[in-house]
């Protein structure tokens, strides 16, 4: 076959298969005229705004049908994951491409997109809950059959079967797992983790590769990496708040079920957009072209995101949303938080702990009560933090949450402490140098912050 025909089939056959899957899925999802589809529409402010699920649902058109929104979301996420994971696999040298035009870094855009649709969107739309080993085996077998037929566009190396195995392991199977978890609404922490990797890959790694930032001097890259830690901590804390308090993720088809107003959202309504824009501005020091990426992020957040806020969240949360929106700005963070009330329990019989409690009170935290640990049913051995929206933490994590009640500067330190791995290391160091005795009971007393 000619190279043109191979590339055409490589793109349009997967597109046709996905189109057929959409038609079949739409037919199976048909509802009686005028019925309510509560799963097709989810509401969100933006990729970083406080979100909740609409309680009113969305009414289907007369005589119409609609694919479940979670299945659409799974198709998008799985396709994005496969496209991102397949790029390094195809650059590893197990096979090469002999293409002219429509290629990036030697990879044909059409074939890469077709491959991602075949492994991502197709199983998500056709059979999202099918047994993963069966689906993976079928798609891997199809790939093994097609790859040799793609010559001369695809030139296979001696170890191409190893490369195929790696592709199945890092792209196909994770994509199928993400599809299942998204459709079934399970494994929330892992769903959030996948989305963090996707955001980092497309939002940060791709621009770095495109602009060639990695070729800059090592000292400059080290400095930029340290500066990126601050906005990255903000973004990670926002995703964590979505998952832990809202019960969802930043993705529009998989959003939180409750209005999220704590953590970073106590300072700014769109912390993820602010974090991504700040990352682009930091990297623009090394390449001014990234200012365009920052402008796009701002335009998206201020345009489409603002529309979502006004139209969707207002209906979903009414007064709660309007009250929050009137007190917290979309892009310019507050100096002091507008946060749900919380209580931090301190062992006032311990000298060191009492000093910590006094230090917290002296900082005049917002919406935070410092109370004796004796007030708890079970006496804790660590600092314990409880917030009225359900947030609970102990030890270093509790202190990190306390810092978010003081002001933005301390909050940034708190979010850095909450980064996975940092919390555990800091707790390990704290435990190593702290007394281990169990605290004694004391009469109950408390001190309130402002």
- Residue 194, Cα to own-chain centre: how many angstroms? 7
pLDDT for residue 93 is more than 90: yes
Residues 6 or more apart whose Cβ sits within 8 Å of residue 336: 366, 407, 408
Asked if residue 436 and residue 318 are part of one domain, the reply reads no
pLDDT for residue 20 is more than 80: yes
**Mean predicted confidence (pLDDT) in 31-40:** 45
* 148 in any annotated domain: yes
**Mean predicted confidence (pLDDT) in 38-42:** 41
* 332 in any annotated domain: no
Asked if residue 121 and residue 244 are part of one domain, the reply reads yes
Q: Ranked by mean pLDDT, which of 54-58, 176-180, 305-309, 439-443 comes out on top?
A: 176-180
Centre a 10 Å sphere on the Cβ of residue 118 and count the other Cβ atoms it contains.
23
pLDDT value for 38: 44
Asked if residue 168 and residue 218 are part of one domain, the reply reads yes
- Best CA proximity match to 427, nearest among 396, 388, 385: 396
Q: How far apart are CA 70 and CA 178, in angstroms?
A: 11
pLDDT value for 444: 47
The rounded mean pLDDT for the chain is 86
Q: Are 413 and 436 in contact (CB under 8 A)?
A: no
Q: Which residue has the tokens 């060639």?
A: 212
Domain count, the chain: 2
pLDDT for residue 117 is more than 60: yes
pLDDT for residue 251 is more than 50: yes
pLDDT value for 59: 36
pLDDT value for 53: 41
Question: Could you tell me the CA-to-CA distances from 67 to 18, 23, 64, 70, 129 in Å, in that order?
Answer: 13, 9, 11, 8, 15
Domain boundary residue, one of 293, 322, 351: 322
pLDDT for residue 174 is more than 50: yes
Q: How far apart are CA 270 and CA 275, in angstroms?
A: 9
97 or 303: which leads in pLDDT? 97
Asked if residue 89 and residue 9 are part of one domain, the reply reads yes
pLDDT value for 377: 75
User: How do residues 312-370 score in pLDDT, each as one tens digit?
Assistant: 778 777 888 889 999 999 899 999 999 999 999 998 777 788 889 999 999 999 999 99
Quote the domain boundaries for residue 135.
3-256+264-322
Asked if residue 153 and residue 18 are part of one domain, the reply reads yes
Question: Could you tell me the CA-to-CA distances from 157 to 30, 90, 95, 154, 161 in Å, in that order?
Answer: 47, 12, 5, 10, 9
* 331 in any annotated domain: no
* 333 in any annotated domain: no
pLDDT value for 436: 56
Asked if residue 249 and residue 121 are part of one domain, the reply reads yes
| Tokens coding 33 | 């005229």
57 or 206: which leads in pLDDT? 206
- Best CA proximity match to 320, nearest among 306, 340, 342, 343: 340
Q: What number of H helices and E strands is found in the chain? A: 19, 11
Asked if residue 317 and residue 353 are part of one domain, the reply reads no
pLDDT value for 37: 45
Phi then psi for residue 96, to 5 deg, are -130, 165
* 335 in any annotated domain: no
| Tokens coding 115 | 């491959």
**Backbone Cα Rg of the chain:** 25
Asked if residue 436 and residue 291 are part of one domain, the reply reads no
* 223 in any annotated domain: yes
* 101 in any annotated domain: yes
Task: Evaluate the omega torsion of the peptide bond into residue 152 and state whether it is cis, within 30 degrees of 0.
Answer: yes
User: How do residues 379-437 score in pLDDT, each as one tens digit?
Assistant: 666 789 999 999 999 999 999 999 999 999 999 999 999 998 999 999 999 888 876 55
Asked if residue 202 and residue 107 are part of one domain, the reply reads yes
| Tokens coding 423 | 């919390």
> Which helix (DSSP H) or strand (DSSP E) does residue 71 occupy?
helix 69-90
pLDDT for residue 183 is more than 80: yes
Asked if residue 358 and residue 307 are part of one domain, the reply reads no
Asked if residue 279 and residue 250 are part of one domain, the reply reads yes
pLDDT for residue 160 is more than 80: yes
> Which helix (DSSP H) or strand (DSSP E) does residue 121 occupy?
helix 121-126
| Tokens coding 140 | 């891997």
pLDDT value for 39: 42
In which band, very low, low, confident or very high, does the pLDDT at 69 lie, cut at 50, 70 and 90? confident
pTM reported for the whole predicted model: 0.86
Q: What SS3 class is residue 108?
A: strand
Asked if residue 350 and residue 316 are part of one domain, the reply reads no
pLDDT value for 256: 86
* 74 in any annotated domain: yes
pLDDT value for 158: 94
């Amino acid at each position: 076959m000619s190279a043109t025909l191979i590339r055409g089939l490589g793109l349009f056959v997967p597109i046709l298969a996905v189109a057929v899957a959409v038609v079949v899925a739409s037919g199976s999802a048909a509802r009686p005229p005028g019925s309510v589809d509560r799963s097709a529409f989810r509401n969100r402010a933006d990729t970083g705004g406080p979100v909740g699920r609409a309680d009113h649902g969305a009414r289907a058109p007369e005589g119409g049908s609609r694919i479940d929104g979670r299945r659409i979301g799974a198709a998008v996420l799985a396709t994005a994951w496969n496209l991102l994971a397949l790029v390094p696999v195809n650059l590893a040298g197990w096979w090469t491409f002999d293409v002219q035009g429509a290629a990036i870094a030697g990879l044909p855009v059409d074939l890469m997109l077709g491959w991602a649709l075949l492994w991502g969107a197709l199983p998500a739309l056709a059979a999202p809950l099918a047994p993963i080993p069966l689906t993976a085996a079928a798609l891997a077998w199809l790939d093994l059959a097609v790859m040799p037929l793609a010559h001369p566009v695809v030139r296979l190396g001696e170890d191409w079967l190893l490369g195929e195995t790696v592709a199945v392991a890092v792209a196909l199977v994770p994509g199928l797992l993400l599809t299942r978890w998204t459709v079934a609404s399970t494994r929330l922490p892992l769903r959030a983790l996948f989305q963090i990797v996707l955001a980092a890959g497309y939002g940060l790694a791709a621009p770095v590769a495109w602009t060639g930032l990695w070729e800059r001097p090592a000292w400059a890259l080290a400095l930029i990496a340290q500066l990126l830690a601050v906005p990255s901590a903000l973004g990670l804390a926002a995703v964590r708040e979505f998952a832990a308090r809202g019960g969802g993720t930043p993705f529009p088809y998989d959003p939180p079920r409750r209005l999220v107003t704590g953590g970073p959202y106590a300072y700014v309504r769109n912390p993820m957009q602010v974090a991504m824009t700040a990352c682009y501005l930091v990297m623009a020091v090394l390449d001014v072209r990234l200012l365009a990426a920052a402008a796009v992020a701002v335009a998206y957040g201020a345009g489409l995101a603002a529309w979502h806020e006004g139209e969707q969240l207002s209906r979903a949360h009414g007064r709660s949303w309007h009250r929050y929106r009137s007190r917290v700005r979309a892009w310019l963070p507050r100096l002091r938080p507008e946060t749900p009330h919380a209580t931090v329990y301190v062992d006032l019989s311990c000298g060191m702990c009492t000093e910590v409690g006094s230090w917290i009170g002296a900082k005049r935290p917002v919406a935070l009560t410092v109370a004796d640990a004796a007030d708890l049913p079970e006496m804790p051995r660590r600092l314990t933090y409880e917030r009225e929206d359900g947030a609970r933490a102990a030890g270093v994590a509790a202190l990190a949450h306390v810092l978010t009640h003081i002001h933005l500067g301390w909050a940034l330190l708190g979010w850095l402490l909450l980064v996975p791995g940092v919390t555990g290391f800091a707790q390990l160091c704290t435990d190593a140098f702290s007394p281990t005795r169990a605290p004694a009971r004391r009469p109950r007393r408390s001190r309130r912050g402002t």
